[in-house]
Amino acid sequence: MDSMTDLGLHISERASIHPTAIVSHGAELGAGVRIGPFCTVGPDVVIEAGAKLISHVVVEGHTRIGEKAELYPFCTVGLAPQDLKYKNEPTRCEIGARTVVREHCTIHRGTATGTGVTQVGNDCVLMAVVHVAHDCTLGDNVIVANNAVMGGHVSIADHAVIGGSAAIHQFVRIGRAAMIGGVSGVEADVIPFGSVIGNRARLAGLNIIGLKRRGFDKTQIHRLHIAFRSLFGKQGVFAQRLEIARVRFADDALVAEVLAFIDAPSHRGLIRTE
């Protein structure tokens, strides 16, 4: 261990590093830490006593992993946020003691325009393929089931349970001991002890920003918007509105693409505004 210390590593004598792992100079490893095969640990990472990186784990950035936390294969912690405003500022990520992070989870560090830190509390369980975005705060004893995702700046209080494949909108607050049902889309705050379920998805309009970014001109967008209102207005029956649109916009390529999509076979049906 003396040679590692000379190279700038701060590693307890009781830490264990697999020969295939890469631990950068400057990283701090506490007593009993286990770094498994093919893990990567960045230079600004602190891993506290008894924590375990099982294998193929990546921990980067200014990140602290709490005592006896367990990180499973192919999870990533502390990488740069998915925020286009982020300019590689030295923001942070913190994982609490005894928290379990299962396979393929992604936990990103904070942003300078947010709180600057992403926090997961003590004794939490993040099941496989969970995404914790930048500047999120999870309290203690939070359980997040498989495939659940959250946008930036979400706050989840102690003992909350997030069902599988739930999607939580950015800036939403989830109160203490609340329950979010599986496959729920959560776009507003949930009171402490509350239980919510359901997907609120509906067709709200056109992706105007996306159309502009992809180079469509104002005339194309305007005609598409007229077609949208014609198709998805509340007057009459949808099938009748559809036939009217076929005639009215017969020469418009973008509207034709929409109509072809509607006509194509579907197992699930079409999301509408109603």
Residue 122 CA: distances (Å) to CA of 5, 67, 68, 181, 213: 30, 9, 10, 23, 42
- What is the residue-wise DSSP string for 214-271? TT--HHHHHHHHHHHHHHH-SSS-HHHHHHHHHHHTTT-HHHHHHHHHHHS--SS---
- Told to judge if 135 belongs to the known catalytic residues of this protein, a careful annotator would answer yes
- Told to judge if 116 belongs to the known catalytic residues of this protein, a careful annotator would answer no
Catalytic, out of 108, 134, 153, 159: 134
**Rounded to whole angstroms, how far apart are CA atoms 268 and 274?**
16
Phi and psi, residue 40, nearest 5°: -130, 125
Taking phi over 0 as left and psi of -120 to 50 as alpha, with beta for the rest, 173 belongs to beta
Using only the alpha carbons of the chain, give its radius of gyration: 24
**Rounded to whole angstroms, how far apart are CA atoms 92 and 112?**
10
Q: Which two tokens stand for residue 35?
A: 């770094």
Catalytic, out of 50, 61, 152, 164: 152
* Residue whose C-alpha is closest to residue 109's, from 157, 70, 72, 76: 76
- Told to judge if 252 belongs to the known catalytic residues of this protein, a careful annotator would answer no
Catalytic, out of 121, 135, 153, 163: 135
Catalytic residue annotation? 134-135, 152
